[in-house]
Amino acid sequence: MKESGIAISRVVTKPKLFDEAIHVRAPKGTKARIDALRGKVRQGDFVRLLLEEALERREASMNSKRKDAASD
């Protein structure tokens, strides 16, 4: 498309994969421990994976406790 002889550029952006930002303060040495374990995985991706795995374990644990309490 042209308007008055000037090209109009259309930019198509990628949809965001992650929408929420969380700032975390960790004990001294945590970053070094993460870096030692993550290999070539980007730090943010590695921390997101750890967080998701921990949340899934915690949710599964809570769900099993609720089922046990309901069966009593």
Domain enclosing residue 61, as ranges: 22-71
Is 6 part of a structural domain of the chain? no
Is 61 part of a structural domain of the chain? yes
Is 9 part of a structural domain of the chain? no
Is 4 part of a structural domain of the chain? no
Sign of the Cα torsion 55, 60, 65, 67 reads positive
Is 7 part of a structural domain of the chain? no
Model pTM score = 0.68
Residue pair 32/43 in contact (Cβ under 8 Å)? The answer is no
If one counts the domains in the chain, the total is: 1
Q: What is the pLDDT along the chain (72 residues), one digit of tens a residue?
A: 555 667 777 888 888 888 999 999 999 999 999 999 999 999 999 999 999 999 999 999 988 888 788 876
